[in-house]
């Protein structure tokens, strides 16, 4: 989810957007968002409509945002942490609660998606959901069919966790995210264990599973797989839903004959959210709420989804979004599929060390 944001289209990095000159000195808003993760016209239109001066800066990793927040004075009024990080940051006391009375458009949010985010933000008190997506299986249909036949289990984690499948796929290339916080929860869930387990022995079981297929994994990387699958250099990848959508379109535009498809495994998968939140040190809280309420307008958020290729949590925006996104259950999960999805939560430091150690061992093939 992170890398695709950096790769996508136009940027508003470091851009200052002015409303009417009469109000520019009276009201301002400072936003810190992922690079290339907004439709550029949205902050511009907000500035023109409200007279609020908007300064829009960008970051590339959750860690960069967290470092800024933990100083106690980030200098920003709105920031955009991912769901795992907002949970940690809420516990650290760096955000202030939303004033829902100033967010009448909150009513457009999807209760089922809010219930999933509730795992990271209990009561949905601090974060306004922005875009969301899943970690799933992307593949080249022709190459997978050539390796495994017509009945290849592309809608099942069996495709990448059964050695007999991976052995046959090795010749056309298989990639996995270089992310212990995403791959290991998938392995745990596949084994029928808690994806957020705090038992060291569970991670040994996940390691055992992954070591059986490790000889057939071409590489672990959270960015390279996107261009490789679009170019036909690999045939299967565990990656982000939106990246397969975007790079599948790039393959079409290139006319190279490569088809990229993807499936949300029927047994379930991780779901992630990016959320707008207000730092405790924010100086322009009223303006922050005004921007958030504007963002919650279905007519405002829908074109952002079209631009980025990700669904959002606004149920009333769905009829306004490109049907390639909302009509594809592997991008916008059905209500039934939502019940199988799970959020990944941060682990206590001791368990994070266990998870990191296991992942290092898997990657080094030891």
3-state secondary structure of 271: strand
What pLDDT, in 10s, does the model give residues 239-262?
A: 999 899 989 999 999 999 999 999
Q: Are the beta carbons of 194 and 188 closer than 8 angstroms? A: yes
Mean pLDDT of 259-268: 97
Could you tell me which of 40, 48, 35 has the C-alpha nearest to residue 3?
35
Domain ranges of the chain: 2-126+273-332, 134-270+344-363
pLDDT of residue 26: 72
Query: Counting every residue, how long is the chain?
Result: 366
Dihedral Cα 37, 41, 44, 47, nearest 10 deg: -90
Alpha helix ranges (H) inside the chain: 2-7, 21-24, 41-50, 62-69, 83-91, 111-117, 141-148, 158-161, 163-169, 180-190, 200-213, 224-231, 241-254, 285-295, 298-308, 323-326, 335-338, 349-363
Cβ count within 10 A of residue 92: 12
What pLDDT, in 10s, does the model give residues 200-214?
A: 999 999 999 999 999
Residue 356 has pLDDT above 70, yes or no: yes
Round the CA-based radius of gyration of the chain to a whole number and report it: 21
Q: Measured between alpha carbons, how far is 137 from 156 in angstroms, rounded to an integer?
A: 8
Please count the CA atoms within 13 angstroms of the CA of 125 that sit on its side-chain side. Answer: 11
- One fold for both 2-126+273-332 and 134-270+344-363? yes
Residue 59: partners with Cβ closer than 8 Å, 6 or more residues away = 32, 33, 34, 35, 65, 68
Q: Quick one: how far is CA 201 from the chain centroid?
A: 28
CATH classification number, 134-270+344-363, choose in 3.20.10.10, 3.40.190.10, 3.30.479.20, 2.160.20.10: 3.40.190.10
Q: Measured between alpha carbons, how far is 281 from 178 in angstroms, rounded to an integer?
A: 34
Share of the chain above pLDDT 70, in %: 93
Residue 277 has pLDDT above 60, yes or no: yes
Q: What is the sign, positive or negative, of the torsion defined by CA atoms of 214, 218, 222, 225?
A: negative
Tell me which of 21-30, 41-50, 83-92, 263-272 is least confident: 21-30
What pLDDT, in 10s, does the model give residues 13-55?
A: 455 555 544 444 579 999 999 988 999 999 999 999 999 999 9
Cβ count within 10 A of residue 243: 29
pLDDT of residue 71: 87
pLDDT of residue 17: 57
Average pLDDT across the chain, whole number: 92
Please count the CA atoms within 13 angstroms of the CA of 278 that sit on its side-chain side. Answer: 20
Higher local confidence (pLDDT), 7 or 131: 131
Residue 1: band (very low, low, confident or very high) from pLDDT cuts 50, 70, 90: low
Is 0.85 topped by the overall pTM?
Answer: yes
Please give the DSSP secondary-structure letter assigned to residue 277: B
pLDDT of residue 15: 53
Q: What is the sign, positive or negative, of the torsion defined by CA atoms of 285, 286, 291, 292?
A: positive
Q: Measured between alpha carbons, how far is 219 from 227 in angstroms, rounded to an integer?
A: 14
Residue 55: partners with Cβ closer than 8 Å, 6 or more residues away = 15, 16, 17, 28, 29, 30, 31
Residue 350: partners with Cβ closer than 8 Å, 6 or more residues away = none
The architecture in CATH of the region 2-126+273-332 reads: 3-Layer(aba) Sandwich (3.40)
Q: Are the beta carbons of 185 and 196 closer than 8 angstroms? A: yes
pLDDT of residue 63: 86
Q: Are the beta carbons of 36 and 11 closer than 8 angstroms? A: yes
Pairing of strands 261-263, 128-139: antiparallel
Secondary structure percentages of the chain, helix, strand, coil, to 5: 50, 15, 35
């Amino acid at each position: 989810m992170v890398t695709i944001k950096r790769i996508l289209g136009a940027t508003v990095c470091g851009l200052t957007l002015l409303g009417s000159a009469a109000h520019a000195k009276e009201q301002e808003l400072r936003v810190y968002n992922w690079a290339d993760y907004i439709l550029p016209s949205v902050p511009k239109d907000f500035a023109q409509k409200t007279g609020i001066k908007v300064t829009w800066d960008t970051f590339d990793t959750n860690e960069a945002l967290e470092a800024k927040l933990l100083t106690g004075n980030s200098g920003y009024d709105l920031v955009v942490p991912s769901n795992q990080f907002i949970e940690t940051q809420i516990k650290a006391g760096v955000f202030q609660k939303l004033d829902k009375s100033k967010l009448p458009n909150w009513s457009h949010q999807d209760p089922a998606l809010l219930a999933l985010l509730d795992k990271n933000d209990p009561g949905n008190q601090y974060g306004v959901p922005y875009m969301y997506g899943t970690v799933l299986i992307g593949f080249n249909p022709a190459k997978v069919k050539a390796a495994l036949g017509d009945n290849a289990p592309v809608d099942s984690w069996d495709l990448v966790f059964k050695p007999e499948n991976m052995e046959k796929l090795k010749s056309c290339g298989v990639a996995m995210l270089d992310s212990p916080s995403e791959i290991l929860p998938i392995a745990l869930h596949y084994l029928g264990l808690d994806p957020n387990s705090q038992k060291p022995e569970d991670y040994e079981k996940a390691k055992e599973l992954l070591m059986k297929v490790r000889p057939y994994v071409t590489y672990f990387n959270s960015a390279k797989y996107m261009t490789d699958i679009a170019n036909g250099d690999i045939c299967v990848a565990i990656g982000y839903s939106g990246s397969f959508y975007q790079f599948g379109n790039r393959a079409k535009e290139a006319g190279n004959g490569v088809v990229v498809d993807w499936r949300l495994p029927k047994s379930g998968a991780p779901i992630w959210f990016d959320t707008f939140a207000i730092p405790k040190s924010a100086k322009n809280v009223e303006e922050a709420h005004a921007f958030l309420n504007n963002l919650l307008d279905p007519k405002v958020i829908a074109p952002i989804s079209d631009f980025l290729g990700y669904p959002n949590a606004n149920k009333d925006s769905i009829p306004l979004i490109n049907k390639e996104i909302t009509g594809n259950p592997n991008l916008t999960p059905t209500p039934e599929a939502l019940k199988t999805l799970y959020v990944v939560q941060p682990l206590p430091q001791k368990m994070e060390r266990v998870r990191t150690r296991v992942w290092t061992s898997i990657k080094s093939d030891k």
